[in-house]
Structure 1
Amino acid sequence: MVLFNKTIRKIHLWLGITCGLIASFSGLTGSLYVWQPEITAALNPKLLKVENNENIKEETLLKSAVSLIKTHNDSIDKIILPYREQQTTAIQFKNGKKCYYHPVTTEFLGEKSASISFFENLLNLHRTLGIPKMGKYIIGTSAIIFFLMLITSGVYIWWNAYANNLKQGLKLKWKAKKKKRNYDLHKVFGIYFFIPLIMIAFSGSYFTYSASYKKALGIFDRPNNNLTALQKNNSKDFSTLNETLFNSNEDYALRAIYFPKDGTDNYRLRYIKNRSIKAGYRKTKEIEITKNGLRTTLSDFKSDSNSNRIAAQFYPIHIGEIAGIFGRVLVFISGFVPLVLFITGFRIFLLKKNRGLKRKCVG
């Protein structure tokens, strides 16, 4: 048992020094991104805000989108209707430019600003470290290690030390000596935030290994032919894309249209239940249509399998939005915890190392 405990401590130490550093970076960038909607909206009122936007009807938004499509059709990569902090309509062009338009009048409002680009780059760093191809696997794998081994080994060490005196294990003595206070900070932050950290790490790795997650979540599925039936029922011919837009759905709001990239690609339409940020489940729908208007439903929260419904919640869980403002604040604070644990843990390591060197010198 003594050997096992020593092994766990060594695993916790070396994973903390390596994986903990990546987790610290992910936590800090994630914390800042939690408030991306509010910050970008405040910095870009001309591009993102519209007066009395809550009174604009869905039909009006669709009509203005159709008007923009007619004007810029061949050059559009995707068109993004009002969603989250963006109360205007945006077009991502094939040449890389992103421009914003009034959702009613289609008036040109301006191009993507530096602050919007900053948050896009921040998200890229958060998800990939800015490293093409391999970056997302570094982040995703470190999140799994952080979840499966680093946090769990820390909880085990804490329980092994304080199982008989839980109150002592939850105390932080600010007036204690530096060494003791540093140790207390490490144990207290680790144990108080281990559940939020597990949820953030587990949900975060989904974005790297989504296929594996969905396969594992398949255990919650039941035989269900609803989606297949829905796909068949919704495979209808509409003469134009415009007609498809106005007839495709009444229960969801159109979020974005992805345009064909070459002669063989189809249009993809993504829908969301609520355009604004709200607590609760994330409900989406996605359909695909050919250039001739043949429409097929790819997913719909109302009829999706349980595995797909659960998978759809990883984003709002990861960023805290599923629990409203409380969840976002919790994720924001939790994002700083890996850095606190890394610094305090590294100091514990240095203190033990120095203590060992002193013993050798004395010996």
Structure 2
Amino acid sequence: MLSFNTTIRKIHLWLGLTCGLIASFSGLTGSLYVWQPEITAALNPELLKVENVENIKEVTILKSVVSLIETHKDSLNKIFLPYREQQTIAIQFKNGKTNYYHPVTSEFLGEKSASISFFENLLNLHRTLGIPQIGKYIIGTSAIIFFIILITSGVYIWWKAYANNLKKGFKVKWKAKKKKFNFDLHKALGIYFFIPLIIIAFTGSYFTYNAVYKSALKVFDNPNTHLINQQKNKNFSTLNETLLNSNEKYALRAIYFPKDKSGMYRIRYIKDRFIKAGYRKTKEVEINEKGDITTLSDFRFDSNSNRIVAQFYPIHIGEIAGICGRILVFISGMVPLVLLITGFRIYRLKKNKGLKKK
């Protein structure tokens, strides 16, 4: 019968060689996507950049949006206002085509480029492996296994080996022989990055199992809090009037148009248009053609559970901690691949050693 320590090592080995492969792919694609705003903006300045964007008034952008809505009317699917790397207005039409327009003049700037599409496809691969329906569950489940079992079992093995000599457990002999260097690199990277990797995996699995997360996080809610969710207001008669007369504490981020005349508009607001360290504060409402507004969420009045899950994306990508957080996530995303390679080499060396003894 196998001992507990041997069982843990076996579990760590086989999960590392299987689940670790998916985690490595997800980590690499995630690391590249961390710099998507800067790369995309650098490759597409004619579509995404505007001079002195910080001096453009909110009402000017809203007037351009209303003008574009009146011009294109029933052909609209979504409108994205300036946000993150995009300083222009993007319109996605019902035929799937996406065009970009100047936020002041409403001038047509061009169609979606190949590099913008590349990063959209990269994000899809990162979240779903490009497999319809079941892909997100493969990614989400592997992330849960990675942070619950794989990382924790590795930390347990490390602790059993170096509890009496912690300094040795953190040390890498850079000039050692290949076998020793490979082992040192595996144990050191695993322990140095186990906290960032746990956080990244935990927040990443939320995008698959968001309903489960939200239910679990309700333990942090105050039952006596009176939320504004689902409250209605009837101040404006049309969508355009609603946009122009809104006096929001947020900036208008996106408009999702109904598929038919009886459908609802969905409008999203964001506190900060461009990348900034700190909490992600948003508001989301639904509005019909009569101007009846239903508030779905508002960070200022939301439950604690909704406020927490709103931070999962900036935590996952590191933006909540600014440039330092993004650099940490970028490096951490490459660590699973190094652990996979070094772990496989350790396995092969032990296997070859066992064959020689036989």
Q: TM-score range by the shorter chain?
A: over 0.9
- Is the CA contact (8 Å cut-off) linking 2:237 and 2:289 kept in structure 1? no
> For 1:153-232, what aligned pairs fall within 5 Å after superposition?
153-228=153-228, 231-232=230-231
Deviations 1:181-213 (A, max 9, x none): 000000000000000000000000000000000
Code of the aligned partner of 1:44: N
Match of 1:274 in 2: 272
- For 2:203 and 2:299, locate their aligned partners in 1 and report how far apart those are by CA, in whole Å: 19
Q: Given the alignment of the two structures, is residue 289 of structure 1 paired with residue 293 of structure 2, yes or no?
A: no
Alignment match, 1:257: 255
2:307 pairs with 1:309: yes
Aligned counterparts of 1:133 and 1:340: Cα–Cα separation in 2: 30
The answer to whether the 8 A contact 1:258-1:268 is kept is yes
Shift of 1:247: 3.2
Residue 42 of structure 1: aligned partner: 42
In structure 1, what residue type is equivalent to 2:25? F
Between the aligned partners of 1:337 and 1:276, the Cα distance in structure 2 is 29
In 2, the alpha carbon distance for the partners of 1:129 and 1:310 equals 27
- Could you tell me which of 335, 342, 345 is aligned with 2:343? 345
- In structure 2, the partner of 1:242 is 240
TM-score, scaled to structure 2: 0.98
Q: CA deviation at 1:291?
A: 1.4
Is 1:326 the counterpart of 2:324? The answer is yes
Q: Which amino acid aligns with 2:270?
A: I
C-alpha distance in structure 1 between counterparts of 2:245 and 2:352, whole Å? 72
| Cα deviations by residue, 1:7-26 (Å, 9 ceiling, x for unpaired) | 00000000000000000000
Deviation at 1:250, TM superposition (A): 2.0
Residue 35 (structure 1) shift: 0.2
Gaps of 5+ in 1: none
Aligned length: 358
Name the SS for the 2:279 alignment partner.
Answer: coil
**Number of the residue aligned with 1:66:** 66
Amino acid at match of 1:325: I
Shift in Å, 1:244: 1.1
Q: CA RMSD in A?
A: 1.2
Distance 1:245 1:318 in 2: 32
Q: Distance in 2 between matches of 1:203 and 1:151?
A: 15
Per the alignment, in what secondary structure is the counterpart of residue 65 of structure 1?
helix
Q: Where does structure 2 lack aligned partners over 5 or more consecutive residues?
A: none
Give the aligned residue type for 1:76: L
With structure 1 as the length reference, what TM-score do the two structures score? 0.97
Paired residue type of 1:324: G
Tell me the percent identity: 80
**1:227·1:303 contact (CA, 8 Å) conserved in 2?**
yes
Structure 1 Cα separation of the partners of residues 225 and 174 of structure 2:
60
C-alpha distance in structure 1 between counterparts of 2:14 and 2:267, whole Å = 46
What is the identity, as a one-letter code, of the residue corresponding to 2:267? L
Q: Given that residues 189 and 337 in structure 1 are in contact (C-alpha distance below 8 angstroms), is that contact kept between their aligned partners in structure 2?
A: yes
Q: CA offsets per residue over residues 99-132 of structure 1, 9 Å max, x none?
A: 0000000000000000000000000000000000
CA distance in 2, matches of 1:158, 1:114: 45
Question: How do 1:55-204 and structure 2 match up within 5 A?
Answer: 55-204=55-204
Alignment CA distance shift 1:249-1:213 (3 Å): farther
**Inter-CA distance 249–217: structure 2 relative to 1 (3 Å threshold):** farther
1:314 partner amino acid: F
In 1, distance between residues paired with 2:147 and 2:183?
21
Moved over 6 A (4+): none
Deviation per residue, 1:56-113 (Å, 9 max, x gap): 0000000000000000110110000000000000000110000000000000000000
8 Å Cα contact 1:224/1:305 also seen in 2: no
Aligned to 1:32: 32
